[in-house]
C-alpha cells in the first residue's frame, strides 16, 4: 500500500464542513469521490484539521493509502478534473508509512479576515467578516499580546469541545491592516474547537470599544467559557498552513493571496 499526502484548498461556503456527514455535502465526501474515480476503487482520507461548516482552507493536508500506482499528476490534475470548482488539490507527494496528516503535525496556522468598511462587499461575500463599525486595531493588538504563550484556553473553546486538555501554546497572534481588510494571523501547536473564532470574537469587542483591553487576560484567567465573548462567524476563517517535521519533505504553503491595493478604507 502506498501512502500519499495531498495539499488541498477549498471555499467552505457550500459545505457542512470538512468531515463526512450523512445529511449534507462535505469537503471530505467530494474529495474522496474524486480520488476514487482516479484510483478506480474507494479511498478514505485523513485530514490535518476538521474545519467547520463555512470555514475555508488554503493549506489543508490529507493523506490516504492506495494499492494502485498513479503518477503525481493523476493525484493533482486528474483529481481536480473530478472536483467541483470550489475544491482543488494543490500538490501530491508520496510519504513514509509513519506519516499521518493529523498526528504528525507539529503546528497549525489560521487566518481570520475582517472587512472594515461602511458598505458590504460583493467580492468578499462569505470570504471575510464584514463590519460597518469602526475598529481600533491598536487595543486589539495589545489584548492579543496577553494571549500568546502556553495557557489554559477553557474560556476560548466551545462547550462541546472534546479535547482532553484545554492547554495550548499560542506561538503568535498578529493583526495586519491592509486598507479596509484586517488580517488576524494565529499559530499554535494545536487548537481547541472554535478557539480561533472565540479569540476573534473577544478581540472584536475590544476593537469596538465595548470591552477594555484587559478583558482578554481576565477571560484567560477565569477559565470559564460561559463568561467569554461571542463566537465570530465561520466564513472569515481560513486554515492556511500545517507544519510537519522536515524529514517528511512536504512543500510549504504560501500565504493566502490578497490585493491590498484593491481595498480602501473610509475610516
Note the pLDDT tens digit of each residue in 167-188.
999 999 999 999 999 999 999 9
SS3 201: helix
Active-site residues, by number, are: 52
Say if residue 33 is in the same domain as residue 113.
no
Q: Say which residues have a Cβ less than 8 Å from residue 109's Cβ, sequence separation at least 6.
A: 59, 185, 186, 187, 239, 240, 241, 242, 243
CATH code of the domain in which 150 resides: 3.30.70.660
From the CB of residue 222, how many other CB atoms can be counted at a distance below 10 Å?
A: 13
CATH code of the domain in which 31 resides: 3.30.70.580
Say if residue 60 is in the same domain as residue 184.
no
pLDDT at 73: 92
Length of the chain, in residues: 267
d(CA 172, CA 159): 24
Structural domains in the chain (count): 2
From the CB of residue 141, how many other CB atoms can be counted at a distance below 10 Å?
A: 17
d(CA 153, CA 141): 18
Cell of 231: 463566537
pLDDT at 253: 61
Say if residue 144 is in the same domain as residue 196.
yes
Q: Note whether residue 177 is domain-resident.
A: yes
- Map grid coordinates 462547550 to a residue: 159
SS3 37: helix
**Which parts of the chain have pLDDT scores under 70?**
253-267
What pTM, to 2 d.p., does this model score? Answer: 0.93
Structural domain range at position 19: 2-95
Handedness of CA 253, 259, 260, 261 (dihedral sign): positive
pLDDT at 257: 44
Q: Note whether residue 90 is domain-resident.
A: yes
d(CA 4, CA 86): 22
Q: Is 157 left (phi over 0), alpha (psi -120 to 50) or beta?
A: beta
Cell of 26: 462535505
Of the candidates 108, 113, 188, 183, the residue with the CA atom closest to the CA atom of residue 148: 188
Amino acid at each position: 500500500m502506498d501512502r500519499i499526502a495531498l495539499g488541498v484548498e477549498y471555499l467552505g461556503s457550500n459545505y457542512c464542513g470538512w468531515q463526512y456527514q450523512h445529511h449534507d455535502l462535505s469537503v471530505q465526501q467530494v474529495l474522496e469521490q474524486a480520488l476514487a474515480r482516479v484510483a478506480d476503487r474507494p479511498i478514505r482520507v485523513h485530514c490535518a484539521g476538521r474545519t467547520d461548516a463555512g470555514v475555508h482552507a488554503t493549506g489543508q493536508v490529507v493523506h490516504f493509502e492506495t494499492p494502485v500506482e498513479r503518477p503525481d499528476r493523476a493525484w493533482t490534475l486528474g483529481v481536480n478534473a473530478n472536483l467541483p470548482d470550489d475544491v482543488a488539490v494543490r500538490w501530491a507527494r508520496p510519504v513514509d508509512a509513519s506519516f499521518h496528516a493529523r498526528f504528525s503535525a507539529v503546528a497549525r496556522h489560521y487566518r481570520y479576515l475582517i472587512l472594515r468598511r461602511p458598505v458590504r462587499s460583493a467580492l468578499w461575500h462569505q470570504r471575510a467578516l464584514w463590519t460597518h463599525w469602526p475598529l481600533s486595531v491598536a487595543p486589539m493588538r495589545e489584548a492579543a499580546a496577553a494571549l500568546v504563550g502556553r495557557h489554559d484556553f477553557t474560556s476560548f473553546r466551545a462547550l462541546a469541545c472534546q479535547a482532553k486538555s484545554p492547554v495550548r501554546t499560542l506561538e503568535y497572534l498578529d493583526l495586519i491592516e491592509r486598507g479596509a481588510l484586517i488580517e488576524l494571523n494565529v499559530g499554535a501547536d494545536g487548537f481547541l474547537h472554535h478557539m480561533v473564532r472565540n479569540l476573534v470574537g473577544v478581540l472584536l469587542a475590544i476593537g469596538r470599544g465595548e470591552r477594555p483591553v484587559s478583558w482578554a487576560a481576565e477571560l484567560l484567567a477565569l477559565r470559564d467559557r460561559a463568561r467569554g465573548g461571542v463566537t465570530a462567524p465561520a466564513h472569515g476563517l481560513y486554515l492556511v498552513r500545517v507544519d510537519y517535521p522536515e524529514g517528511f519533505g512536504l512543500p510549504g504553503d504560501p500565504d493566502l493571496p490578497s490585493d491590498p491595493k484593491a481595498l480602501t478604507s473610509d475610516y
